[in-house]
Amino acid sequence: MSGARAILHVDMDAFFASVEVREDPRLRGLPVLVGGAGRRGVVAAASYEARKFGCRSAQPMAVALRLCPHAVVVAPRHELYAEVSRAVFAVFERFSPLVEGLSIDEAFIDLAGTERLWGPPRRAAEALQAAVLAETALTCSVGIAGVKFLAKIASGMHKPNGLTEIAAGSELEFLATLPIGELWGVGPRTQEKLARRGVATVGDLRRFGEAALVEMFGAHGLHMHRLSLGIDERAVVPDRAAKSLGHEDTYAVDVVGVPELRRCLLSQATRVADRLVAQGLRARCVCLKIRDGEFVTETRQCTLPRATDDHREIHGAACRLLEAVDTDGRGFRLTGVSVSQFESPQAEQQQLDLLAPASEPPPRSAALQAVLSAVRERHGHQALFPAEAGSERRPGTTGAITHSRPSEPPKRRR
């Protein structure tokens, strides 16, 4: 794939369980379940020995122990995993500056411009696996492809310690027999609907065609059609350069349905806009993050024609991004809105002066947004919250402000 884009997806093998085995060699070769042992405990990681019995992460511990009664249950030690994660990411970052963490043990690495140093992608991937093993005594699986979603599928194909390359030109052949459920963000309801139309594989999906998919699923149909052709234009966005500002909420009860999701996003867009105003910034890039009840996390982003600090524009962009998410039959435990690509209002005004015709109106509601933000700043967030947002917090919600700067260590999404 010389000359073509090469993206690695690296995924540590049974990460928490492997770390526990490393720390206590007596566990080697045994079925190990990391997670809470209580009645409501959930498996956070299962060793490969435990997976042979059908145990897997996100399974209730009670179910896993029915499947494998002799498994060793280990309480999670998240600080230790975070420390090991930092060591693993430090190795990744030696191979390319373009490292995007997906979770504590998983990252995309864009190998653009690294060929002189590391050789062709496969050799770079082998060197990376060797370095991770030498420095952390842990194995990882790597997928190599020209686009993100194919690299991610590839890394899961030969676990553990696997290396799978989907060479340039072989993408369509690879996708032809792949079940559509393997595509990122295609949920069970969508699979069911398509199964009724005789669509089971990505090859079937491609033959089903763009028009039919768009008719059935709207923007998400178009997204699936593009995936079926191996098209995925999302870039690897390095954590260090993300420099974003955002707000996300985790819900005690999964959020279901587009209207309710839009209300959640409005609350978050409003908080983000307030913080932009407080910092005298406007942003051009809006990012939606959404995590379903099965802990599948999706992020989507778009660039606005011009920088904004208006909650309605940010909310509108987040809602358009939501249209490309398969919400059918899925409940969501987390939503978040963040913005990046900051500009100061002065710089933007100068651009407008230079580029826009004289009749171009100034950003519609900048003054209003500043007043609203000032009132909320003084009287708390309840004051002047947009009526459409409904009650400002769902019961049991935990909110988190997300903020990253280039100087901070990369933010890990768990």
Question: How many other CB atoms are found less than 10 A from the CB of residue 399?
Answer: 14
In whole angstroms, how close is the CB of 192 to Mg ion at the nearest point?
A: 28
Is 40 buried (19+), middle (13-18) or exposed (0-12) by CB count in 10 A? Answer: exposed
Length of the chain: 414
Query: Under rule CB under 5 A, which residues in 350-409 are in contact with Mg ion?
Result: none
- Please identify, using beta-carbon distances, which residue of 105 and 110 lies nearer to Mg ion: 105
Query: Of the ranges 16-24, 34-42, 105-113, 401-409, which one interacts with Mg ion (CB under 5 A)?
Result: 105-113
Query: Binding Mg ion by CB under 5 A: which of 11, 20, 49, 239?
Result: 11
How many residues belong to the site for Mg ion (CB under 5 A)?
4
- Please identify, using beta-carbon distances, which residue of 156 and 345 lies nearer to Mg ion: 156
- Please identify, using beta-carbon distances, which residue of 105 and 274 lies nearer to Mg ion: 105
In whole angstroms, how close is the CB of 232 to Mg ion at the nearest point?
A: 21
Query: Binding Mg ion by CB under 5 A: which of 105, 110, 232, 274?
Result: 105
Q: Which residue is nearest to Mg ion (CB)?
A: 11
Q: Which residues on adjacent β-strands are paired with residue 286?
A: 302, 339
Q: Give the phi and the psi of residue 139 in degrees, each rounded to 5.
A: -105, 155
Peptide bond before residue 76 is cis, with ω within 30 degrees of 0 = no
User: Hey, which residues are catalytic here?
Assistant: 106
Q: Which residues are annotated as part of the binding site?
A: 11, 105
140 touches Mg ion by CB under 5 A: no
Query: Of the ranges 7-15, 54-62, 161-169, 210-218, which one interacts with Mg ion (CB under 5 A)?
Result: 7-15
- Please identify, using beta-carbon distances, which residue of 12 and 273 lies nearer to Mg ion: 12
165 touches Mg ion by CB under 5 A: no
Identity of the residue numbered 1: M
310 touches Mg ion by CB under 5 A: no
In whole angstroms, how close is the CB of 290 to Mg ion at the nearest point?
A: 20
CA distances (Å), origin 151, targets 30, 230, 250:
30, 11, 29
Q: Which of 258, 231, 247 is nearest to 286 (CA)?
A: 247
12 touches Mg ion by CB under 5 A: yes
Q: Which residues are annotated as part of the binding site for Mg(2+)?
A: 11, 105
What is the b/e burial string over 293-309, where b = at least 16 CB atoms within 10 angstroms of the residue's CB? eeeebbbbbeebebbbb
Our CA dihedral for 327, 298, 121, 138, rounded to 10 degrees, sits at: -120
| Beta strand segments in 238-324, E | 245-256, 282-292, 297-308
In whole angstroms, how close is the CB of 320 to Mg ion at the nearest point?
A: 31
Binding site for Mg ion (CB under 5 A): 11-12, 15, 105
